[in-house]
Amino acid sequence: EAKDSGRGKYRYFRSQMAEPLAKRSRLEVDFRNALLRGEIEPYYQPLINLSTGNIEGYEILARWQHPELGMILPDVFVQIAEDTGTIGEMTLRLLRQACLDSDEWPHSHYLALNISPVQLRNRDLRADLCDVLKETGFEAHRLEIEVTENALIYDLETARLILWDLKIAGMTIALDDFGTGYSSLHHLRKLPIDKLKIDQSFIRTMSHSAKSRKIVNAVIALGSSMGLATTAEGVETEESALWLSQAGCTSAQGYYFGRPLPSSEAWLLDTTERQLMALRQWLSPTRD
């Protein structure tokens, strides 16, 4: 009896602890092959210019189409890519595919690429990215690099040098999830930043939190006084899109405008365009 319940407890413990670990190590094993087989693919989410209501760019968001487990989100596998030393390769593959895909789209928008903390310790980053740009004919000034603040804290001086490398090559630099990191303002002073991406947590709570609205206003003012663009992330409603536009936010991204889509469904972006018509009539045509 006691033995049974003991074993039961052990089983319970196992199923709570060991299975996620087993799943994780399976994913680690699968990941490298997944990269080689092209199971990691870029999805694209539009970035909307809030002065004109037009799409101005697309963020590249990685998706893993696992043959048995279905779609796996980057919150799970980016960490695996970092831990297994394959994040650099993943990034270059995504960029290469995105440059090829976007070649078939009607407009010359920019592409925004997420870079992980680990990559800001690698002085070869500029050369690696530029090789892909050269190979695909995609111009460097159409590439925006998104770095999260937390990415920078390990070695700020190396990160600074690498970001300057990218900037000198013509790319623009956006600080992602702005407002959630440890020393946002310190980073802003030290690094060659062109754009602030206001974290979704502020945007999502804007409708019911005066504090969030004040913070968003302050970030927009900070950006504008420093000559930086501001992008609002996670915009899900028309109200917040209009509020942000009136507050002087430069651009926006979120489910209201469009979810991340695979290149094969790029035709759905026409839907986004139609939806934007409604927004455009509210936007002030004088501001730019």
- Dihedrals phi, psi of 144, to nearest 5 degrees: -110, 135
Residue of 144, 177, 195, 206 interacting with Mg ion (CB under 5 A): 177
For residues 27 and 147, which CB has a smaller minimum distance to Mg ion in the complex? 147
| 234: partner contacted, choices Mg ion, ligand C2E, none (Cβ within 5-8 A by kind) | ligand C2E
Q: State the nearest-atom distance from the C-beta of 199 to ligand C2E, in Å.
A: 8
For residues 30 and 56, which CB has a smaller minimum distance to Mg ion in the complex? 56
Record the tokens describing residue 260, joined without a space: 């991340």
Q: State the nearest-atom distance from the C-beta of 16 to Mg ion, in Å.
A: 28
Q: Given phi > 0 = left and psi -120 to 50 = alpha, else beta, which region is 171?
A: beta
For residues 27 and 115, which CB has a smaller minimum distance to Mg ion in the complex? 115
Q: Which residue do the tokens 């925004």 mark?
A: 112
Whether the Cβ atoms of residue 166 and residue 192 lie closer than 8 Å to each other: no
Q: State the nearest-atom distance from the C-beta of 81 to Mg ion, in Å.
A: 15
Q: State the nearest-atom distance from the C-beta of 124 to Mg ion, in Å.
A: 22
Whether the Cβ atoms of residue 37 and residue 26 lie closer than 8 Å to each other: no
| 61: partner contacted, choices ligand C2E, Mg ion, none (Cβ within 5-8 A by kind) | ligand C2E
Distances (CA, A) of 245 to 50, 63, 193, 208: 5, 30, 22, 18
The contact set with ligand C2E (CB under 6 A) reads: 45, 61-62, 73-75, 78, 91, 94, 114-116, 146, 176-177, 233-236, 253-255, 260
For residues 18 and 69, which CB has a smaller minimum distance to ligand C2E in the complex? 69
Q: State the nearest-atom distance from the C-beta of 146 to ligand C2E, in Å.
A: 6
Span of 68-76, 88-96, 100-108, 228-236 interacting with Mg ion by CB under 5 A: 228-236
Q: Work out whether 114 is an interface residue with Mg ion (CB under 5 A).
A: yes
Span of 72-80, 110-118, 126-134, 205-213 interacting with Mg ion by CB under 5 A: 110-118
Dihedral sign, Cα of residue 178, residue 184, residue 188, residue 190 = negative
DSSP state of 72: E
Whether the Cβ atoms of residue 110 and residue 142 lie closer than 8 Å to each other: yes
For residues 51 and 119, which CB has a smaller minimum distance to ligand C2E in the complex? 119
Write out the H or E segment, with its range, that includes residue 46.
strand 40-49
Q: Work out whether 230 is an interface residue with Mg ion (CB under 5 A).
A: no
Q: In terms of DSSP H, where are the helices of the chain?
A: 2-37, 74-83, 87-102, 125-136, 156-168, 184-190, 200-204, 210-225, 238-247, 269-280
Q: State the nearest-atom distance from the C-beta of 25 to Mg ion, in Å.
A: 25
| 73: partner contacted, choices ligand C2E, Mg ion, none (Cβ within 5-8 A by kind) | ligand C2E
For residues 47 and 283, which CB has a smaller minimum distance to ligand C2E in the complex? 47
Rounded to 10 deg, the angle between the 238-247 and 269-280 helix axes is 60
Q: State the nearest-atom distance from the C-beta of 10 to ligand C2E, in Å.
A: 36
- Dihedrals phi, psi of 180, to nearest 5 degrees: -105, -10
- Interface ranges with Mg ion (CB under 5 A): 114, 146, 176-177, 233
